[in-house]
Amino acid sequence: MLEHLVRKWGRKEKQSEPAELDRSGKIPEHVAIIMDGNGRWANKRSLPRVAGHRAGMKAVKEVVKAADEIGVRYMTMYAFSTENWKRPRDEVDFLMKLPQEFLSTELDELIERGVRIRMLGSKNELPSHTLKALLEAEEKTKNNSGLQLNFALNYGGRDELAKAFSVMAAQVKAGELQPEQLTEELISSYLYTSEIPDPDLLIRTSGEIRLSNFMLWQLAYTELWFTDVLWPDFTREHFYQAIVEYQGRARRYGAV
């Protein structure tokens, strides 16, 4: 009944992009996205909240394709936070089924595109079917050299830092690590993102202007772009708008 809400991944003509988008210019290496507004999208249409989450899958597909086509190397999508467990049980159960559903229908296309899948977050609390789908996708795409698509699932920025500091503290106590060795670079190496660069650009949809416990360490010098568009309505044109604005910004990292 909700199938009409989801646009299939299938190949189609490349959509137009803003004249200002410079493909040969400054393309962000790593784009992070807080996909917000699924519930409000559904409420506006008198649909159950889960309909908004299902509809949001089309935006994931569209934006991943757009990012891949312009040369983005890493994309991290905030799929489920450590705080989202507080939501109603039926909604949580549905969200835990989405990775399996998405990957079962789209993984072959992702492999064809050379996309590599990775999960960022704590695996311990995830249902077995969710974890199995993600681990299988990671294994099948581990040798791909194209866009790396990271799903931040059961992820919280503070939780990530607390776990990293706990490991480091234990190593200091055991004499395996000296306090003076605790540099920014070392701390970064204990995070889920240890093997990838920090995001250059963060996009958040739905009009909210906050980080919501997402990549708190990694976003220190990230360019932020917010839009009122709800995630299921987010298109590649909106994505291009964010890239164009990023291309017009000067990143000084504290310098003049």
Task: List the domain boundaries for the chain.
Answer: 30-156+199-248
Say if CB 130 and CB 99 are below 8 A apart.
yes
Whether the pLDDT of residue 75 is over 70: the answer is yes
> Dmax over Cα atoms in the chain, in whole Å?
60
Which two three-digit tokens encode residue 8?
């299939």
More confident residue, 16 or 177: 177
Average pLDDT value for residue range 151-178: 98
Residue 70 contacts by C-beta under 8 Å, 6 or more apart in sequence?
A: 21, 23, 27, 243
More confident residue, 22 or 191: 191
Annotated catalytic residue, options 36, 68, 198, 200: 36
Say if CB 21 and CB 67 are below 8 A apart.
no
pLDDT of residue 7: 34
Q: Is 81 known to sit in a ligand binding site?
A: yes
User: Model confidence at 19, in pLDDT bands (50, 70, 90)?
Assistant: low
pLDDT of residue 250: 84
Q: Average per-residue pLDDT in the chain?
A: 91
Whether the pLDDT of residue 139 is over 60: the answer is yes
Q: Is 212 known to sit in a ligand binding site?
A: yes
pLDDT of residue 18: 64
pLDDT of residue 256: 63
Report the number of secondary-structure helices (H) and strands (E) in the chain: 7, 6
Annotated catalytic residue, options 22, 43, 68, 84: 84
Q: Is 254 known to sit in a ligand binding site?
A: no
Helix or strand holding residue 77 (H, E): strand 74-81
Q: Is 194 known to sit in a ligand binding site?
A: no
* Distances 95 to 4, 50, 205, 216 between C-alpha atoms, Å: 19, 8, 18, 23
Query: For the segment 24-60, what is each residue's pLDDT rounded down to a tens digit?
Result: 779 999 999 999 999 999 999 999 999 999 999 999 9
Say if CB 30 and CB 76 are below 8 A apart.
yes
pLDDT more than 70, % of the chain: 92
pLDDT of residue 25: 77
Q: Is 223 known to sit in a ligand binding site?
A: yes
Whether the pLDDT of residue 2 is over 60: the answer is no
Record the pTM. 0.90
Average pLDDT value for residue range 123-128: 94
Measured CA angle at 81 (ends 169, 115), to 5 deg? 95
Active-site residue flag, 84: yes
pLDDT of residue 255: 72
Query: For the segment 224-240, what is each residue's pLDDT rounded down to a tens digit?
Result: 999 999 999 999 999 99
User: Model confidence at 13, in pLDDT bands (50, 70, 90)?
Assistant: very low
Whether the pLDDT of residue 200 is over 80: the answer is yes
Looking at domain 30-156+199-248, its CATH superfamily turns out to be: Decaprenyl diphosphate synthase-like (3.40.1180.10)
